[in-house]
A and B are shown apart, each in its own frame.
Chain A
Amino acid sequence: MSTNHNSSDESGVSRRGFLKGIGVGTATGVLSDSSLHEAKAAEPGVKGPGETAIILRINGENKQLNVEPRVTLLDALRNRLDLTGPKKVCDRGTCGACTVLLDGDPIYACSVLAIEVQGRDITTVEGLGSPDQMNAVQKAFVERDAQQCGFCTPGFVTACSAFVRDNPNASVDDVCNGLGGNLCRCGTYAGMVLAASDAAKEKGGA
């Protein structure tokens, strides 16, 4: 596996550096005390190769978990916290199926380490809306049938929610540029362009 990831000054680790690390087991838990996200796990310095206790702020909730430093944010979300909205497809920052918002900006969760994003606000597709309370982008995706198998859809919805928030008067060209970081295999782009345009008009989004 190669990596697009650069070493982070904050954590002092890179994904590549830990591919050879070892360790077992994980533990997860939910913390209600928001002050905990400033806790000791964010200390600078070299971590690992064993597990480190970290706290991630996801969809407004602090979650404590133990991860090896080599674990990506995507794997932490999916495998440790059962937040399976973000999907694992290319696992190297190409397809966008794993897109989440980091302090409001779309990023590829497969390409950052979980330990790097402590103290940041992480929003997954689950945090954007629920089946009973969809955001404007989600509603538009349903209405315009901008999905088939739906495996790329959470990533697109997340990217699109940030896009329409920042580009309320987006043209079709703007939409195509704005969603250029995600890929679909079933071929649902025609519906997506319409959905994104509808949502942009409504100034909806994240």
Chain B
Amino acid sequence: MANVAWPKEGDRKIIGSRIPRQDGAVKVTGAAKYSYDVNRPDMLWGKLVTSPKAHAELVAVDTSIASALPGVKAVWVDEELLGEELRYVGQVVACVAAESEEVAIEAAEKVKLQLKVLEHQVVDNDPSLSTGRPSNREEGNLDEGFAGADVVVEGQYGIPVITHCCLEPHGQVTEMKDGELHVWPSTQNVSRYSNQFGDEIEIPQNKIHVDTQYMGGGFGSKFNIDKWGIIGAKLSIETGRPVKIMLDRREELMIAGNRPSGFAKIKVGLQQDGLISAVDAEVWGSGGQGAFRAPPIPYVFTKVPNTRLVGKGIRTHRGSVRAWRAPNHPQGCLLTMSAVDDAAAALGMDSLEFFMRNAALTDRPEVYREELQIAANIIGYRQKAHARGDSGPGPVKRGLGVAIHTWGGRGHPSECDVTINSDGSVEAKIGSQDLGTGTRTCIAMVVAETLGLPYEAITVHLGRNSYPASGASGGSTTIGGISVSARRAATDALNDLLRTVAGRLGTTDEKLEASGGHVHRIDQAGGGVSWKEACSMLGPNSITKRGINNPGESQQEGLISAGVGGVQIADVSVDVETGVVTMNEMVAVQDCGLIINMKLAESQVYGSLIMGITYALYEESIYDKKTGIMLNPDMEFYRLAGIKDVGQLKVHMMTGKGFDERGIIGLGEPPVIAPGAAISNAVANACGVRVPNLPLTPERVIAALQKGGDIA
């Protein structure tokens, strides 16, 4: 009999190993068909018509010229917007469907919008622009906290709106066939996509087929069907033809994902021993047309006794907030870690020592201390560390910066079917999706481990809403969800098989197990019958079992849990003459419970470091105050780090005793939280002044240096 509990260290054959991803070969050869790559017979191209103004009343839409263009098959207009306000550049107003992409683009340019321009507001870094009542949270007694402090430091810091910039833009292909709707969306929410059509189309849920085999990045921005999904379906219904609508790069950067900004005035009180006694923060920022929530400050140091957090949202005429990896945490981390590191510098305390001491104010002091120690050893902290401001000769200054972070990551609700066929083949079916995190691979590994089979023996089917429902890939919840549902399904299916085989082997199922490609008595590994032979005893009847992850129950059973910590240390050089920041090295130490695939887990952390370096040094969604338009909606001026920009990266995963027995915890988000803070602290350590706002561009570095050596 098989048991659902994870095998202990030493008993694991596949879990924890470094297997290359299952879909690697199809991705490197161009064989993988992403949603953008789906070309259907007789397909039309849809091109959106969007608002050119940040704020205007839509008076009328004239489609006559566009409709008359040869090749144009339909023009959809959002009639409900007539007479209403358009609230940001890029807001979708209409859509043209045409025989080719070129004609669709041309026709979309010829749809005339009659607008009455209204006043706009795109500035998000001025707290006086906040409307509505500020949020306010207080704990302890601030006055007492600051009165008891030996050092009190005040600073102002900020992190701008950035955009997801998924390389595969948002969009989908839609097709009507025999009264049923087929959709190939680029989504991270396969099982809960079709229900988002709501009343917009009159097709029952069971006749909407969603298929996402490969998708090119989501990072939290692809949970929703979006307006273009509904338009695509409507245009397919109207024309009777497949329609492809994918955003162009400009649209993708303006309207398909904005991480809210966060700016803050923070006052920190430290005792002589370095412990934080009080934090008073006023934070403001914008989620565009969406809501603003104050990021958590003080971040991670949740046991600081005296705190106040005032939050002020600023409504702007810019595209709306979407979840971005670890929502609000990178902001909370940058704002908190900058402020406390400035306070430590004012006290004259080394940063590593400061974080070591204040680990006492976190939920997991021992873990952070151990991780800090390991990170310091890997980067050679003690050999390289110096007080704030590199006093060495020459214009290039070098510095180290530390930051820590936390995340939840408990597995989401998930269902998975595992089938054992009489020819010995094994299939798993699940309505999840693989964003490039390795979901396919991890499911195959869990099922193979459970059945005692090689990893290659398992065929995984995912990405369709006809498969058992599984949660959206957000909040680092996928790995916990899918691993448990797959484990439960495989365990139940195996136990069914063992019952069948027990009779034939003249024993009882309690005395049987599957390992090494055999079904055998527990005390006779290597004996028994081969897997294939065992399965042949099923005759015509395959076994299919459904495994369900109920997060609460699974956590009680120790299969999953939540709450991880990580430490990152950056080593940077700053040229104080040019302001250029160069990454020398960066170390990430991370725990995430039981790791299914070490290679893929490390890839997540490397990727997070790089994405973090990118937002620390380069990324900012820049809007022009006067015109209300985004000035850099392209990949030349909305810069991503290239392969030369990231320096040397080192990743250390915390595994083994104390970690593995926590069960599985998600990893996609936690390591992307701290890089901004660690790099900002490293720049301060190098050049002696805080560069208060990300990204740490040359002009910001020079401006901070010109203001002099005073903090903030």
Using CB atoms and an 8 Å cutoff, list the residues of chain A in contact with chain B. Answer: 20, 22-26, 68, 70-71, 75, 78-79, 82-92, 94-95, 97, 124-126, 128-132, 134, 137-138, 141-143, 145, 147-154, 157, 175-177, 179-180, 182-193
**Closest residue on chain A to residue B610 by CB atoms:** A187
B46-85 interface mask toward A, CB cutoff 8 Å, 1 = contact, 0 = none?
Answer: 0000000000000000000000011100000000000000
Contact B24 A24 (CB under 8 A): no
Contact A183 B36 (CB under 8 A): no
Q: CB < 8 Å: which of A79, A132, A142, A153 contacts B101?
A: A79
Query: Which residues of chain B are near A175, meaning CB under 8 Å?
Result: 643
Which 10 pairs, one residue from A and one from B, show the smallest C-beta to C-beta distance?
A: A85-B30, A187-B610, A151-B216, A149-B436, A24-B71, A187-B607, A148-B436, A150-B27, A142-B24, A84-B37
Q: B306-314, B632-640, B687-695: which lies at the A interface? A: B632-640
Residues in B174-195 with C-beta less than 8 Å from chain A: none
A109 to nearest B CB, angstroms? 12
Query: Which residues of chain B are near A91, meaning CB under 8 Å?
Result: 248-249
Query: Which residues of chain A are near B25, meaning CB under 8 Å?
Result: 131-132, 134, 138, 142
Q: How far is the CA of A134 from the CA of B27 in the complex (A)?
A: 11
Q: How far is the CA of A23 from the CA of B103 in the complex (A)?
A: 7
A76 to nearest B CB, angstroms? 11
B570 to nearest A CB, angstroms? 15
Q: CB < 8 Å: which of B70, B98, B168, B649 contacts A151?
A: B168
B81-99 interface mask toward A, CB cutoff 8 Å, 1 = contact, 0 = none?
Answer: 0000000000000000011
Most B Cβ at <10 Å: residue of A23, A70, A177: A23
Using CB atoms and an 8 Å cutoff, list the residues of chain B in contact with chain A. Answer: 20-21, 23-34, 36-37, 39, 69-71, 98-103, 106, 165-169, 214-217, 219, 248-249, 435-437, 599-600, 602-604, 606-611, 614, 634-636, 640-644, 646, 649
Most A Cβ at <10 Å: residue of B102, B599, B608, B614: B102
Query: Which residues of chain A are near B26, meaning CB under 8 Å?
Result: 131
Q: CB < 8 Å: which of B30, B98, B168, B600 contacts A154?
A: B30
Contact A176 B167 (CB under 8 A): no
A189 to nearest B CB, angstroms? 4
Query: Which residues of chain A are near B21, meaning CB under 8 Å?
Result: 142, 145, 147
Q: What are 18 A-B interface contacts by the 8 Å CB criterion?
A: A22-B70, A23-B70, A24-B99, A75-B101, A85-B30, A87-B167, A92-B635, A125-B28, A131-B29, A134-B29, A141-B28, A145-B603, A147-B27, A147-B28, A185-B219, A187-B609, A189-B610, A190-B646
Query: Which residues of chain B are near A152, meaning CB under 8 Å?
Result: 167
Contact B217 A186 (CB under 8 A): yes
Contact A142 B28 (CB under 8 A): yes
Q: How far is the CA of A172 from the CA of B165 in the complex (A)?
A: 27
**With known contacts A82-B39, A126-B30, A130-B31, A26–B100 Cβ distance under 8 A:** yes
B105 to nearest A CB, angstroms? 8
B579 to nearest A CB, angstroms? 21
Query: Which residues of chain A are near B166, meaning CB under 8 Å?
Result: 185
Contact B643 A192 (CB under 8 A): yes
Contact A131 B31 (CB under 8 A): yes
Q: CB < 8 Å: which of A70, A88, A157, A177 contacts B36?
A: A88
Query: Which residues of chain B are near A24, meaning CB under 8 Å?
Result: 70-71, 98-100, 103
Interface residues of A: mostly helix, strand, loop or mixed? Answer: loop
Contact B436 A150 (CB under 8 A): yes
**With known contacts A148-B607, A185-B611, A185-B640, A124–B217 Cβ distance under 8 A:** no
Q: CB < 8 Å: which of B98, B100, B165 contacts A79?
A: B100
Query: Which residues of chain A are near B614, meaning CB under 8 Å?
Result: 187
**Closest residue on chain A to residue B643 by CB atoms:** A189
Query: Which residues of chain B are near A130, meaning CB under 8 Å?
Result: 29, 31
Query: Which residues of chain B are near A137, meaning CB under 8 Å?
Result: 28
Q: How far is the CA of A179 from the CA of B646 in the complex (A)?
A: 13
Q: How far is the CA of A195 from the CA of B361 in the complex (A)?
A: 42
Q: CB < 8 Å: which of A25, A89, A132, A186 contacts B607?
A: A186
Contact B30 A151 (CB under 8 A): no
Contact B635 A138 (CB under 8 A): no
Query: Which residues of chain A are near B600, meaning CB under 8 Å?
Result: 145
Most B Cβ at <10 Å: residue of A95, A134, A177, A185: A185
**Closest residue on chain B to residue A26 by CB atoms:** B100
**Closest residue on chain B to residue A129 by CB atoms:** B29
Contact A89 B249 (CB under 8 A): yes
Q: How far is the CA of A138 from the CA of B248 in the complex (A)?
A: 29
Contact A149 B215 (CB under 8 A): yes
A154 to nearest B CB, angstroms? 5
Query: Which residues of chain A are near B28, meaning CB under 8 Å?
Result: 125, 129, 134, 137-138, 141-142, 147, 150, 153-154, 157
Query: Which residues of chain B are near A20, meaning CB under 8 Å?
Result: 106
Q: CB < 8 Å: which of A97, A154, A182, A187 contacts B606?
A: A187
Q: How far is the CA of A95 from the CA of B644 in the complex (A)?
A: 14
Contact B634 A90 (CB under 8 A): yes
**Closest residue on chain A to residue B613 by CB atoms:** A187
Contact A95 B30 (CB under 8 A): no
B650 to nearest A CB, angstroms? 9
